[in-house]
Amino acid sequence: MFKKDLLKDKRILVTGAGTGLGKEMANHYAEHGANLFICGRRENVLKETATEIEDKYEVNVNYESLDIRASKDVDDYVGRIFEDAPLDGLVNNAAGNFISPTKDLSHKGFDAIANIVFHGTFYMTHSVGKRWIESKHKGSIISILTTWVWTGSPYVVPSAMSKSGLNTMTQSLAAEWGKYGIKVNAIAPGPFPTKGAWERLNPNGDDGSVMGEVPLGRVGEMGELQNLATFLMADGCDYLTGQTIAIDGAQYLTGGGTFSNLDKLSDDEWEQIRTMIRSSNTKDKADRG
Ligand code: HXC
């Protein structure tokens, strides 16, 4: 879809890139020429991912173990990167989540998610953004959200609340930082199965039906998400900012509609319904004389 040098020499930081969606996006950035900084909590996983990417593409991948909940560690890490040269892009991908009835959550359980998603993502965005402003360097921020930012979602309330806050951050900072050449967008992926997310959100291991129905009749393909993440990171569409883009096969629009379940009706059932509607129209007309 893109020229292989689209992101050549860009320096991009992807949080939580040791596994899952972060690793997939990092791979695609490297394939298009970017040098990478990847961080996450597990050093061994990061090291493996960094080696794997460097072996495949002619780019540098720096990895460092970092918990984004620790605000000072985040700022020190970003400071060290900028000592060499500014970053060009940041992908806020690191997250935490599990399904649970909200009444059974402890306050510590709520904090475990909110501290990673809501606080940690802000720390990272702030540490990078303020340095871009200081150094008058343009940059692109992409946060990985979910479609729950528009619909809310039962059983994942700490995540839905936190990601909604980041949706507001995306809109607010696009407006506040536009004058500095910083674009701020977000992606709201629907079901893109990855081991980490699926084990926590779909522990029964079924085919994804627990996630609701997708009009396209399938889960997302990783290449589709990678292409969107690369398009948003590249130069050439800077006027696109402050947006959260859903990539979910129209799942959330369908699930939210009053008539979504009509999707299941057969042609015969539709014919019966048409007949019933026509007969009640005819009766109405007769009643009106
Ligand atoms: C109820 C739970 C729980 C669970 C943890 N807690 N798991 N409560 N149900 N399944 C509670 C604990 O009991 C404890 O509270 C508190 O949370 C802290 O637990 P810790 O295990 O000490 O927390 P921590 O080590 O910080 O772990 C963070 C974590 C964990 C988020 C809870 O799951 C984790 O590290 N996950 C890895 C990242 C991840 O989740 N990736 C998937 C992201 S998918 P008490 O009071 O008992 O002490 C995603 C969106 C996908 O974000 C969207 C798909 C459409």
Please, are residues 186 and 166 in contact by the beta-carbon 8 Å criterion? yes
Pairing assessment for the beta strands 11-15 and 139-144 based on DSSP bridges: unpaired
Burial status of residue 16 (CB atoms within 10 A of its CB: 0-12, 13-18, 19 or more)? buried
Identify the structural domains of the chain with CATH numbers, from first to last: 11-287 (3.40.50.720)
Instruction: Going residue by residue through the chain, which has 289 residues, state the pLDDT in tens, using 9 for 90 and above.
Output: 999 999 999 999 999 999 999 999 999 999 999 999 999 999 999 999 999 999 999 999 999 999 999 999 999 999 999 999 999 999 999 999 999 999 999 999 999 999 999 999 999 999 999 999 999 999 999 999 999 999 999 999 999 999 999 999 999 999 999 999 999 999 999 989 887 777 766 666 665 554 557 888 899 999 999 999 999 999 999 999 999 999 999 999 987 666 767 777 899 988 898 888 888 888 878 887 7
Residue type, 176: E
Stretch (H or E) spanning 183: strand 182-189
Residue 142: which of 99, 100, 87, 76 has the closest Cα?
87
List the structure tokens of 59: 């780019």
Q: Which residues make Cβ contacts (< 8 Å) with residue 178, sequence separation at least 6?
A: 241, 242
| Closest residue CA from atom 34 of ligand 1 | 96
List the structure tokens of 214: 């997708």
To test ligand 1's pocket by mutation, which of 42, 97, 199 has the most ligand atoms within 8 angstroms of CB?
97
How open is the CA angle 166-11-185, to the nearest 5 degrees?
A: 25
Q: Could you tell me if the CB of 95 is within 6 A of ligand 1?
A: yes
Q: How far is 118 from 206, CA to CA, in rounded Å?
A: 29
Q: What is the whole-number distance in angstroms between the Cα of residue 201 and the centre of ligand 1?
A: 11
